[in-house]
């Protein structure tokens, strides 16, 4: 009778309570896995940004990375004005995926490992809002998330074909960026938690074998992480 009057059934009410309980559990989990506070992250990011900012020669690729980074730093309020302008004719990191059909063809992530470019492609696809790929996209994101949760530091180190050590680092940074942005788009703290973990593991190696481009990409991942943390963990 209650259901007929528009009231939720007991089963629906139990599901609502479970979802609320699960959500509440995820907040301390994400906070617990945070190795640095926002202030500590800001100090580290700004120190390395200034170091990259004062390089005498950067090149077009690094310039594009720093332009992306400066946009995020402004969003966080860590800088007031950008020090760079968009490079005329540059394609940027995203927007070149039209015509790719990786999800339909079973690529991106599977038994053979991670397809290089997967992080940027999935970010573009999720942001573009294609309804036809929504279920497969969600499934692929869950698989990526599960690998980070289960394999931890050894996660995302197998690729469908051989790539350089530098490109491997960039690919993991891109998955971290994907996770942070997915956390905001989906309101799901599990993705933020995974980004926090990935960034922590990447930071351990930043002084060993990280090119300027890799360092800039990691700073972008850290800035994306902080934007998501502010949005999802705000009291």
| pLDDT band at 69; cut points 50, 70, 90 | very high
Between CA 136 and CA 109 the distance in angstroms is 11
* pLDDT given for residue 131 in this prediction: 65
Residue 190 is assigned to a structural domain of this protein: yes
Q: What is the mean pLDDT of the chain?
A: 81
Residue 5 is assigned to a structural domain of this protein: no
Query: Could you say which DSSP state residue 7 is in?
Result: P
Number of domain units in the chain: 1
| pLDDT band at 92; cut points 50, 70, 90 | very low
User: Kindly report the CA angle at 195 between 192 and 90, in degrees rounded to 5?
Assistant: 110
Query: Could you say which DSSP state residue 115 is in?
Result: P
pLDDT at 25 over 50: no
Residues 6+ apart with CB under 8 A from 40: none
Residue 123 is assigned to a structural domain of this protein: yes
Residues 6+ apart with CB under 8 A from 80: 74
| pLDDT band at 178; cut points 50, 70, 90 | very high
Q: Across residues 31-36, what is the average pLDDT?
A: 63
To the nearest 10 degrees (0 to 180), the angle between helices 134-151 and 165-186 is 120
Who has greater pLDDT, 118 or 48? 48
Work out the number of other CB atoms within 10 angstroms of the CB of residue 194: 28
| pLDDT band at 20; cut points 50, 70, 90 | low
Do residues 45 and 223 lie in contact, with contact meaning Cβ atoms separated by under 8 Å? yes
Residue 71 is assigned to a structural domain of this protein: yes
pLDDT at 88 over 50: no
Q: Across residues 125-150, what is the average pLDDT?
A: 84
pLDDT at 52 over 60: yes
Residue 166 is assigned to a structural domain of this protein: yes
Who has greater pLDDT, 132 or 106? 132
Residues of the chain with pLDDT > 70, as a percent, come to: 73
Do residues 85 and 117 lie in contact, with contact meaning Cβ atoms separated by under 8 Å? no
Q: Please tell me the least confidently modeled range out of 64-73, 157-166, 168-177.
A: 157-166
Who has greater pLDDT, 192 or 14? 192
- Partners of 159 in beta bridges: 114
Q: Across residues 152-168, what is the average pLDDT?
A: 88
Q: Across residues 151-158, what is the average pLDDT?
A: 86
- Structural domain boundaries, residue 29: 10-87+94-232
Residue 146 is assigned to a structural domain of this protein: yes
Residue 99 is assigned to a structural domain of this protein: yes
Who has greater pLDDT, 119 or 8? 119
Residue 135 is assigned to a structural domain of this protein: yes
């Amino acid at each position: 009778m209650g259901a007929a009057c528009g009231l939720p059934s007991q089963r629906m009410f139990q599901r609502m309570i479970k979802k609320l309980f699960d959500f509440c559990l995820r907040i301390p989990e994400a906070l617990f896995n945070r190795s640095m506070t926002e202030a500590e992250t800001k100090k580290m990011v700004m120190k390395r940004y200034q170091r990259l900012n004062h390089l005498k020669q950067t090149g077009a690729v690094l310039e594009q990375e720093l332009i992306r980074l400066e946009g995020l730093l402004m969003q966080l309020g860590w800088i007031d004005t950008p020090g760079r302008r968009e490079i005329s004719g540059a394609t940027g990191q995203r927007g070149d995926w039209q015509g790719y059909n990786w999800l339909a063809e079973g690529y991106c992530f599977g038994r053979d490992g991670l397809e290089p470019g997967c992080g940027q492609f999935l970010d573009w696809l999720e942001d573009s809002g294609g309804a036809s790929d929504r279920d497969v996209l969600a499934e692929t994101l869950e698989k990526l998330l599960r690998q980070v949760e289960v394999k931890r530091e050894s996660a995302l180190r197998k690729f469908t074909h051989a790539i350089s050590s530098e490109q491997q680092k960039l690919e993991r940074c891109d998955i971290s960026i994907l996770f942070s942005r997915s956390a905001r788009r989906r309101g799901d703290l599990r993705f933020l938690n995974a980004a926090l973990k990935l960034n922590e593991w990447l930071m351990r190696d930043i002084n060993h074998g990280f090119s300027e481009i890799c360092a800039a990409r990691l700073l972008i991942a850290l800035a994306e992480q902080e934007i998501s943390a502010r949005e999802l963990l705000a009291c």
